[in-house]
Structure 1
C-alpha cells in the first residue's frame, strides 16, 4: 500500500501576504477558493513537488508561525541559495552537515523552512 503525503497546512495570519510570499519563493498557486465567510483555501505547490501546502482561513487550529523545519530538497544548494536571494528572500548562509548542505528561511509569520541538498557540498567527488 502506498501512502503519499499530499498537503500540509501552514498556519498564517494574513492569507494574501503569505500567498504573495510563497509565490515569490517560487511556489505555484494552484487554488484560491473562498468557500464561506469562515473558510478560504489556498493551495500552493513547490516546482517539481508532489506535495503542496495549504494556507487559508478556517483550515487549522495551529498558531500562525508555529510550523518549524518544513523541508524541501534541491539538487544544487548554491543555485537555490542564489535563486532565493535573487527573489528577495532572506536566507541563511549555506551550512554544510555530514548529511547534506542547507539554507534556512522563514515566511512572514515565522514558519521555518529548510532547503537541503542531500549530498553535502563537502563530500568527496565520486569516480
Structure 2
C-alpha cells in the first residue's frame, strides 16, 4: 500500500453524543476538566468542548443528531492517564462517579487501569503511566 502526505497531524477532539449537556459539563468539571467552548449553533444546539488539565485533545459533548433516536451508551475508547491509579480511583469513588469496584491489575506489560461511566453511561478508561 502506498502512502500519501495528507497533512494530518494530531487528534484534536473526540465527539461523544450527549443529550444532557449541562449535566455532562458539571460531571467533567468535577473531574478537573476545563470547559473551553460552549457555543450555540443552528436549531438551538450547543457545541461544547471540555479538556483535561494537561494535553491538547478534548472531548466534544455533542448534541445527538436530529432524528437519531435515543443515545445508546457506548465504549468510547477514550483513555485518560494518571500517575497514581489508586488515588485517582479513590477520588472518583468519593465524588460518586460510576467507577469499577476495583483497579484491574493484569500484570506486565498492561498498566493498572479502571473504567468509569459518564452521566450518559458512556465508558472511559483510566490507566497509570
Fold-level match, TM-score > 0.5?
yes
Matches within 5 A, 1:1-127: 3-57=9-63, 63-92=71-100, 93-98=102-107, 99-118=110-129
Q: Which runs of 5+ in 1 are unaligned?
A: 119-127
After TM superposition, the score normalised by the length of structure 1 is: 0.79
CA distance in 1, matches of 2:27, 2:64: 20
CA distance in 1, matches of 2:32, 2:51: 9
Runs of 4+ residues deviating >3 angstroms: 58-64
How many residues in Structure 1 have an aligned counterpart in Structure 2?
118
CA distance in 2, matches of 1:2, 1:13: 30
CA distance in 1, matches of 2:88, 2:54: 14
CA distance in 2, matches of 1:68, 1:88: 20
After TM superposition, the score normalised by the length of structure 2 is: 0.78
Q: Which runs of 5+ in 2 are unaligned?
A: 1-6
